Amino acid sequence: MLSRTADTLFWTARYLERAENMARLLEVGARISLLPSVHGYRSEWDSLLQASGTAEGFARKYGEPVARNIESFLFFDRDNPSSVVSCLTQARENARIVRAALTTQVWDVLNTAFQEMKQLERTPRSELELTQLTEWVTRTAALVRGSIGATLLRNDGYDFLNLGYAMERADATARLIDVKYYVLLPRVEFVGSGLDNYQWMTLLRALSLHRAFHWSYAGDITARKIVDFLILNPENPRALRASVEAINTALGRLASRYGRQMDAQVRAEAMLAPLSETSVEGIFEEGMHEFLTGFITEIAALSHQVWEDYLTGDVR
Amino acid sequence: MTTCFNEMFDDGAVRAPYARLEDWTRSLPAGLRHMKQAEAEALFRRIGITFAVYGEGGDPDRLIPFDMFPRVFTANEWARLDRGIRQRARALNAFLVDVYGRGEIIRAGKIPAHLVYRNAAFEKAVVGIVPPKGVYSHIVGIDIVRTGRDEFFVLEDNCRTPSGVSYMLENREIMMRMFPDLFRENRIEPVDSYPALLRRTLASVAPLKCEGEPTVVLLTPGHFNSAYYEHSFLADMMGVELVEGQDLFVEGEFVWMRTTEGPRRVDVIYRRIDDAFIDPLCFRPDSMLGIAGLMDVYRSGGVNICSCPGAGVADDKAVYTFVPEMIRFYLGEEPILNNVPTWQCALQDDLKYVLAHLGDLVVKEVHGSGGYGMLVGPKSTADQIERFRARIEENPAKYIAQPTLALSATPTFVEDGIAPRHVDLRPYCLVGDRIELVPGGLTRVALTEGSLVVNSSQGGGVKDTWVLAE
Helix H segments across B359-470? Answer: 382-394
| Closest Cβ opposite residue A258 in set B235, B258, B261 | B261
Q: What is the mean pLDDT of chain A?
A: 87
Asked if A4 lies within 8 A of B46 by C-beta distance, the reply is: no
Question: Is the CB of A11 inside 8 Å of chain B's CB atoms?
Answer: no
- What's the half-sphere exposure (Cβ side, CA atoms, 13 Å) at B378? 13
**pLDDT (tens digit per residue) in A4-59:** 999 999 999 999 999 999 998 888 777 777 666 554 444 567 777 777 778 888 88
ipTM over 0.90: no
Burial of residue B29 (number of CB atoms within 10 Å: 0-12, 13-18, 19+): exposed
Question: Which residues in chain A are closer than 8 Å to B244, comparing Cβ atoms?
Answer: 4
Question: Is the CB of B338 inside 8 Å of chain A's CB atoms?
Answer: no
Q: Give the Cα separation of B178 and B232 in Å (integer).
A: 24
Q: Which of A69-78, B361-370, B443-452 has the lowest mean pLDDT?
A: B361-370
Q: What is the mean pLDDT of residues B305-319?
A: 93
Closest to B116 (Cα-Cα) out of B319, B335, B395: B319
Percent of chain A with pLDDT over 90: 54
Three-state SS at B439: coil
Q: Give the Cα separation of A309 and B12 in Å (integer).
A: 71
pLDDT at res. B33: 86
Percent of chain B with pLDDT over 70: 95
Helix H segments across B64-219? Answer: 75-99, 104-107, 113-117, 165-178, 180-185, 194-204
**pLDDT (tens digit per residue) in B254-291:** 999 999 999 999 999 999 999 888 998 888 888 778 89
CA closest to B49 among chain A residues: A96
- B270 in Cβ contact with B197 (< 8 Å): no
Is pLDDT of A187 > 90? no
Q: Give the Cα separation of B444 and B435 in Å (integer).
A: 24
Distances, alpha carbon A109 to alpha carbons A139, A148, A163, B212, B233, in Å: 11, 10, 20, 40, 18
Query: Domains in chain B, please, with CATH?
Result: 9-337+424-467 (no CATH), 341-403 (3.30.1490.270)
Q: What is the mean pLDDT of residues A232-236?
A: 91
In Å, how far is A109's CA from the nearest CA of chain B?
Answer: 9
Asked if A96 lies within 8 A of B259 by C-beta distance, the reply is: no
The pTM of the full predicted model, rounded to 2 decimals, is 0.88
B50 — pLDDT class (breaks 50, 70, 90): low
Q: Give the Cα separation of A115 and B191 in Å (integer).
A: 31
pLDDT at res. A184: 58
In Å, how far is B232's CA from the nearest CA of chain A?
Answer: 6
Q: Give the Cα separation of B86 and B90 in Å (integer).
A: 6
Q: Give the Cα separation of A111 and A93 in Å (integer).
A: 9
Distances, alpha carbon A1 to alpha carbons A7, A154, A156, in Å: 10, 13, 7
The residue ranges of every structural domain in chain A are 1-151, 154-316
Q: What is the mean pLDDT of residues A201-217?
A: 83
Q: Which helix (H) or strand (E) holds B264?
A: strand B262-266
Asked if B260 lies within 8 A of A96 by C-beta distance, the reply is: no
Would you call the peptide bond into A243 cis, given omega within 30 degrees of 0 as the criterion?
A: no
In Å, how far is B59's CA from the nearest CA of chain A?
Answer: 11
Q: How many CB atoms lie within 10 A of CB A205?
A: 16
Question: Is the CB of A181 inside 8 Å of chain B's CB atoms?
Answer: no
Closest to B465 (Cα-Cα) out of B172, B122, B156: B172
**pLDDT (tens digit per residue) in A95-113:** 999 988 999 899 989 988 9
Which residues 147-206 of B have a C-beta within 8 angstroms of A?
A: none
**pLDDT (tens digit per residue) in B205-264:** 999 999 999 999 999 999 888 888 899 999 999 999 999 999 999 999 999 999 999 999
B57 — pLDDT class (breaks 50, 70, 90): very low
Q: Which residues pair with B337 in a beta bridge?
A: none
Q: Give the Cα separation of B160 and B275 in Å (integer).
A: 9
Q: Give the Cα separation of A271 and A302 in Å (integer).
A: 9
Q: What is the dihedral of CA B350, B356, B359, B365, to 10 degrees?
A: 40
Which residues 255-274 of B have a C-beta within 8 angstroms of A?
A: 257-263
Burial of residue A170 (number of CB atoms within 10 Å: 0-12, 13-18, 19+): buried
- B427 in Cβ contact with B83 (< 8 Å): no
**Using CA of residue A204, residue A208, residue A214, residue A216, what is the dihedral sign?**
negative
Give the type of residue at B264: R
Distances, alpha carbon B118 to alpha carbons B113, B243, B367, in Å: 8, 33, 13
Q: Give the Cα separation of A199 and A187 in Å (integer).
A: 13
Q: What is the mean pLDDT of residues A58-72?
A: 85
Q: What is the mean pLDDT of chain B?
A: 90
pLDDT at res. B369: 60
